[in-house]
Amino acid sequence: MLNTKSKTSCDDLTPGVYLIGAGPGASDLITVRGAKLLAKADIVFHDALINEEMLSWCPQAKLVSVGKRCGKYSNSQLFINQQLINASSKFKIIVRLKGGDPLIFGRATEEIEALRQANIYCEIVPGITTALAASAELKQAPTSRNISRSLKITTLPTRLNYIDHETKIFYMGRDQLSTIAIDLINQGLPGSTPVCLMESVSNQDQRSFGTTLEELSRYKDVSIFTDEKPLIVMVGEVYQSVYKTLTPLIQDVEPNNHILSA
């Protein structure tokens, strides 16, 4: 299980590695927490595309460029992982500064897994992904009630040597949990597909539940979730290693292989 704890204030930080999203480019579009952590960092491993103005947030830190740019020399991911692990024995607060959001095409999974195996504390600080920043510049929302109710963020599917298991994330799904699951199963997703339910994300009262589509398809009691707290439903194979570490949504479920159509 990943060595994480509840987020503390930036005045009382747990020694470890902080993966921070730098945002789309402008130095003032980093989050407040991200900027505060940079100001506390002992060493910062940053991508090549990071705006140099952003590095002025951490004049006290040692700076190490580990960026990847097409056509130019770049560090291998394994080498970057090892640098983070080695730094943890020499520095208290280590920042890995990534463009956009670290979890959107940022190869953060490899770094998180390497830190997990080394039993090093890790925290992820979200950033504004470029797709949303571009929408803001256009002053045009990518979703619209009467035109588009979904948003797909992807990269060009070149040189794929594996099956691409698309991740699906649903907003405001509290009252439609079983319907969401049944629809996805009817579309061909296995009933064993992992599901993570996150309530009041990033707040002190955040709650996280793990289940599968098969279990969720039969779940009717939504009373454990309140109207006042937003619920997000995250579905996909990428959650295979994490959903079982969360609070089980359903306890002592009897096997049931019959899924009713919505």
pLDDT band at 131 (very low <50, low <70, confident <90, very high): very high
What Cα–Cα distance (Å) separates residue 122 from each residue in 10, 16, 93, 94?
Answer: 14, 6, 10, 10
Give the pLDDT confidence score for residue 137 in this predicted structure: 95
CA distances from 67 to 49, 58, 82, 108, 197 (A): 7, 18, 15, 13, 34
CA distance 64 to 51: 14
CB 45 within 8 A of CB 39: no
Residue type, 94: I
Residues 175 and 102 in one domain: no
pLDDT band at 162 (very low <50, low <70, confident <90, very high): confident
Q: Are 234 and 167 in contact (CB under 8 A)?
A: yes
What is the CB neighbour count within 10 angstroms for residue 107?
Answer: 14
Shared-domain flag, residues 111 and 215: no
One domain for residues 97 and 47: yes
Residues 124 and 222 grouped into a single domain = no
Share of the chain above pLDDT 70, in %: 88
Q: Longest C-alpha distance within the chain, in Å?
A: 61
> pLDDT value at position 164?
85
Does residue 140 belong to any structural domain of this protein? Answer: no
CATH number at residue 202: 3.30.950.10
254 — pLDDT class (breaks 50, 70, 90):
very low
Query: Any bridge partners for residue 232, and if so which?
Result: 171, 198
Q: Which domain holds residue 210?
A: 168-248
Question: What's CA 249's distance to the chain center, in Å?
Answer: 21
Residue 104 counted as domain residue: yes
23 and 119: one domain?
Answer: yes
Classify residue 180: in a domain, yes or no. yes
Rounded to an integer, what distance in angstroms lies between the CA atom of residue 164 and that of residue 160?
Answer: 8
pLDDT of residue 223: 85
Tell me, yes or no, if 172 is annotated catalytic: yes
When the pLDDT of each residue in the chain is averaged and rounded to a whole number, the result is 89
Distance CA 257, CA 215 (A): 10
- Which of 73, 102, 130 finishes a domain? 130
Q: Which pLDDT belongs to residue 73?
A: 52
Assigned domain for 215 exists:
yes
One domain, residues 39 and 97: yes
For residue 68, the model assigns a pLDDT of 64
Q: Is residue 49 part of a domain?
A: yes
Containing H/E element for 66?
none
Active-site residue, selected from the candidate residues 47, 54, 98, 101: 47
Catalytic residue among 92, 172, 175, 244: 172
pLDDT for 155:
84
Per the structure, the count of domains in the chain is 2
Q: 176 and 124 share a domain?
A: no
Per-residue model confidence (pLDDT) at position 8: 61
pLDDT class of 10 with cuts at 50, 70, 90: confident
The pLDDT of residue 2 is 45
What's the pLDDT band for 7 if we cut at 50, 70, 90?
A: low
- Tens of pLDDT along 192-244? 999 999 999 999 999 999 999 999 999 988 888 988 899 999 999 999 999 99
Query: In this structure, is residue 216 part of a structural domain?
Result: yes
Q: Are residues 45 and 92 in the same domain?
A: yes
- Do 106 and 191 share a structural domain? no
Which CATH number fits the domain that encloses residue 108? 3.40.1010.10
Choose one of 130, 160, 180: the last residue of a domain.
130
My answer on whether 190 and 98 are in the same domain is: no
What local confidence, expressed as pLDDT, does residue 74 receive?
62
196 part of a folded domain: yes
Domain boundary among 71, 103, 130: 130
Report yes or no on 259 lying in a domain: no
Q: Are 123 and 228 found together in one domain?
A: no
How does pLDDT run across 26-59, given as a tens digit for each residue? 999 999 999 999 999 999 999 988 998 999 999 9
Sequence-ordered list of residues with C-beta below 8 angstroms from that of 135, at least 6 positions apart, any chain: 141, 142
**pLDDT reading at 1 higher than 50:** no
Q: Are 92 and 41 within one domain?
A: yes
Round to whole Å and give the CA distance between 81 and 60: 23
Q: pTM to 2 decimals?
A: 0.85
> Which residue's entry shows tokens 């937003």?
230
The whole-angstrom separation of Cα 21 and Cα 96 is 9
Residue 139 annotated as catalytic: no
1 forms bridges with which residues in the sheet?
Answer: none
Residue with the bigger pLDDT between 239 and 11: it is 239
- What does the pLDDT read at residue 179? 96
